[in-house]
Amino acid sequence: MDSDPYQALDSMFPGLVGPILWIFSALYFVFWMWIAVDCYRRRNGFDAWHLFFFLFPISTLVYFVIHFRAVMEGTGGKRAVFGPSLKKQIEQMRAQLRIADTLGARFELGELLFKNKDFAGCETEFRTVLAAEPNNLEAQYYIGLCRMNLNDPVGALPFLRAVVTGDRKIRMGLAWLTYTDCLLANDLKEDALEERRKLSRAFPRPLTEYAYAELLHESGQAEKSRAILEDMLATSQNAPREDSPFLSKGRALLRKL
């Protein structure tokens, strides 16, 4: 006959198991709230993590382990109950700029503004960096991203083209992929298709291969698209975890071909 673990523990520690479980539940609820609020502040709003927190409360432990240092450290290495919010980090960086206006500080402020989706402010900071360093590819990349997010693909194109011309390896191919998105937004579909072909060969991973296969499909080249997807799925054992959505999309697209 199976024994009840709760009853077994209660027989060993009479009258203590109930209170211990209640205390543990209360402490875990406090921990859950701590992590949920930290995630909200750090990511400047609700995030996919919050869905996991609600559906799978144990995921708060996963978040805590992955972001341990960020959760436990505030600015200047000081311990903090919650990490500084994105808006707070922006305020602090602006205060730092008033003390010492350096290109490094402007670059960091620009990145924070981009995370906060203040694309106009971000572009302003990176144009300042670019004025001082005309060959700074990262600054050009961010300006191109801002122009894209501000629905100005025409304005984004020269910046993103300069990035890819200067170094196709920047951001491990992500800048190159953004350039192809910009080409598409400028109705340069054939150029985008050729660039994605080169990109998928230079950086073979589900992210780039799916992008190429998808565009092949949209261009009416179903057989080529199928071949790319089949090869992608057959060689995806060591694909980066963040590419998992593109494997799912690849399987879905393959079923349509």
Distance, in Å, from the CA atom of 39 to the CA atom of 63, rounded to the nearest integer, reads 9
% helix, strand, coil for the chain, step of 5? 75, 0, 20
CATH of the domain at 122: 1.25.40.10
Q: Do both 155 and 92 map to the same domain?
A: yes
Q: How far is CA 228 from the centre of its chain?
A: 25
Closest C-alpha among 112, 93, 113, 111 to residue 102: 93
Residue 255 lies in a domain: no
Residue at a domain's end among 49, 69, 84: 84
Window from 14-18, 148-152, 211-215, 245-249 with minimum mean pLDDT: 14-18
Q: Across the chain, how many H-helices and E-strands are there?
A: 15, 0
- Statement: the pTM of the whole predicted model exceeds 0.75: no
Percentage of the chain with pLDDT > 90? 52
Asked, for residue 153, whether it belongs to a domain, the answer is: yes
Q: Residues 78, 99: one domain?
A: no
The per-residue pLDDT of the chain, averaged, comes to: 85
Which one of 136, 170, 204 terminates a domain? 170
Amino acid (one-letter) located at 67? H
The total domain count for the chain is 2
Residue 23 forms part of a structural domain: yes
Query: Distance between CA 253 and CA 226 in Å, rounded?
Result: 9
Asked if 31 and 63 sit in the same domain, the reply is yes
Residue 138 falls inside a structural domain: yes
Domain assignment present for residue 161? The answer is: yes
Please spell the DSSP secondary structure of 168-197, one letter per residue: TTGGGGHHHHHHHHHHHHTT-HHHHHHHHH
Q: Identify the domain containing residue 63 by its residue range.
A: 17-84
Q: Is residue 21 domain-resident?
A: yes
Residues 96, 76 within the same domain: no
- Asked whether residue 256 carries a pLDDT value surpassing 80, the answer given is yes
User: Are residues 89 and 162 located together in one domain of the fold?
Assistant: yes
Show which of 107, 137, 170 is a domain's final residue: 170
pLDDT band of residue 251 (cuts 50, 70, 90) is very high
Answer yes or no: do 29 and 66 share one domain: yes
- Any domain includes 175: no
pLDDT surpassing 80 at residue 40: no
The residues pairing with 73 across neighbouring beta strands, listed in sequence order, are 79
Tens digit of pLDDT for each residue in 220-248?
999 999 999 999 999 988 888 888 889 99
Could you report the per-residue pLDDT of 190-210, keeping only the tens digit for each?
Answer: 999 999 999 999 999 999 999
